[in-house]
Chains A and B, each alone.
Chain A
Amino acid sequence: MLTIKNLNAGYGGMHILENVNVHIKPGEIVSFIGPNGAGKSTLLKSIFNLCDIYSGKIIFNKNNITKLPTHNLIIEGISFVPQGRLVFSDLTVKENLEMGLYTFHNKDHVKIKIKEVFDRFPILKERQNKLAYTLSGGQQQILAIARSLMHEPKLLLLDEPSLGLDPKTMKHIFKIIQELNKEGMTIMIVEQNAKQAVSISHRTYILEDGKIKLEGGKDILENKKIKEIYFGGR
């Protein structure tokens, strides 16, 4: 579904990713974990063309999508939930959701999708006419995820979906991620909550200093080297 070949990327003169190779199969949940500053967010941003790509290729469904404008990537079927609750603060919850379908113009379809999202996240229905900045941090995070689901992406990129969520809501979100996956969505997750992420993922990549250090299945956290670089020998 998605192949990243020898990717070098960063911001201006700041080179972050070095020769990164990643392959995602259709229907997979794949996690990316690693220390802060390892380049995990940059990897997701490079797919969504939100950073500078120096060399390398990104292939999505056999199309070369490297440096394709972001709005075209949305039409291709990719959705991105950035880190840290980026919602439109001065729009209502419902308007934020409508923004998720901005490039599509069928109003009836928008209504159907909003209803679906409200079914999944009742708190958003309850708060639909409130301005987004009046939501708590965790509720804003839920809104950001919900907005990304509006146009039914084939590939969903989640940058720390559990950030700032209470334990109960976090479980709910991870359950929803699994449900979406069962419905056929391919999902890439960057997480600090490694145990949760690995437990729902088919495969996991470990990044450090902009390079892929390791790739593995559910037992990847047992690896001694990971315990050192990531958990500090816990």
Chain B
Amino acid sequence: MLEIKNLKKYFGGIKAVDGCSFKLSDNKITALIGPNGAGKSTVFNLISGFEKKDKGKIFLSSQDITELKPYQISKLGLSRVFQKSRLFNNLTVKENLLISINKDNTQFWNNLLYPNKNKKLFEEKITDVLKLLNITKMKNHIAGDLSFGQKRLVELARAIILPHKILILDEPVAGVNPKIRKDIMKILSILKKQGETILLIEHDMYFTLNISDHIIVMDEGKVIAEGTPAQIKKNKKVLEAYLGD
């Protein structure tokens, strides 16, 4: 599904990503973990086209996407949640979701000629995703009025509703209360059963160890370990670099 090969990205003297390679298995949840500054978010930025690599290649479904722009990569089936909220703060929750719901239909002529073509279908999809995340009552709230944690949930809803093959989530449960953390775990398992491939960055170890099929550990821009949650839990290198135990 997704493969990155010998990826490098330097910012001035800082080697943010320094020869990073890994491959994601289909229909699995993979977690990318590592200390702050290990280069995890930069890898996400490179995959989704927000940063240009200095070296290396990225493949999505065997297609080279290294030089593509973010919207082109999104059209190929990559959906992403950012670390910081990127909602349209002046729009309602529903409007935020409508924007991402059907990218085939955002073309000018389609919208002009068939404004109501998929209205009912969209309503249903939005109702479903709001219910899934238990945020139905926020449907008509202005996004800018929501609290930090609530915004995170709406962003997750928006990423889920965007038609995609692979979902990449940068700290999906940071700032979210424990009950909703558990709910998100359930939701991700459901998505996995439906055949989704998910890559996530997360510091909550309870969450990461329980939800992931595979864990990739980064430090100083490189992959330092890979394995199942059970293997990672025992890895001394990881314990020292990451958990500080």
A residues contacting B by CB (< 8 A) are: 11, 14, 34-38, 41, 83-85, 123, 130, 134-139, 141-142, 160, 163-172, 192, 194, 229-232, 234
Q: A36-B150, A137-B41 are in contact. List 8 more A-B contacts (CB 8 A).
A: A36-B148, A37-B147, A84-B85, A135-B37, A166-B242, A167-B203, A167-B242, A169-B36
Q: Do residues A231 and B145 form an inter-chain contact, with CB atoms below 8 A?
A: no
Task: List 27 A-B residue pairs with CB atoms under 8 Å apart, sorted by A's residue number.
Answer: A34-B177, A36-B175, A36-B176, A36-B180, A41-B147, A84-B84, A84-B175, A136-B38, A136-B41, A137-B41, A138-B36, A139-B36, A139-B37, A160-B175, A163-B175, A166-B34, A166-B36, A167-B244, A168-B244, A169-B35, A169-B36, A170-B203, A171-B244, A172-B244, A192-B176, A192-B177, A234-B182
For B205, the chain A residues whose CB sits under 8 A away are: 167
Minimum CB–CB distance from B175 to chain A (whole Å) comes to 5
Among B122-173, those with CB < 8 Å from A are: 145-150, 152-153, 171
The answer to whether B83 has its CB under 8 Å from any CB of chain A is yes
Cα A73 to Cα B178 with chains together (Å): 33
- Of all chain A residues, which has the CB nearest B35? A166
Within the assembled complex, what's the spacing in Å between the Cα atoms of A145 and B244? 21
Given A135-B37, A167-B205, A169-B36, does the pair A130, B14 have CB atoms closer than 8 Å?
A: yes
> In the complex, which residues of chain B have a beta carbon less than 8 angstroms from the beta carbon of A83?
148, 175
Count B interface residues, CB 8 Å.
Answer: 39
Is there an interface contact between A230 and B203, defined as CB atoms closer than 8 Å? no
Please measure, in the bound complex, the distance between the C-alpha atom of A192 and the C-alpha atom of B148, giving whole angstroms.
11
- For B149, list chain A residues within 8 Å (CB): 35-37, 192
Cα–Cα distance between A232 and B149 once the two chains are bound (Å): 16
A11 to B146, CA, bound (A): 11
Give the docked Cα–Cα distance between A160 and B174 (Å): 10
Query: In the complex, what residues of A have CB within 8 A of residue B33's CB?
Result: 166
In the assembled complex, the CB of B54 is this many whole angstroms from the nearest CB of chain A, namely: 15
Query: Which B residues are CB-close (under 8 A) to A137?
Result: 36, 41, 83-84, 171
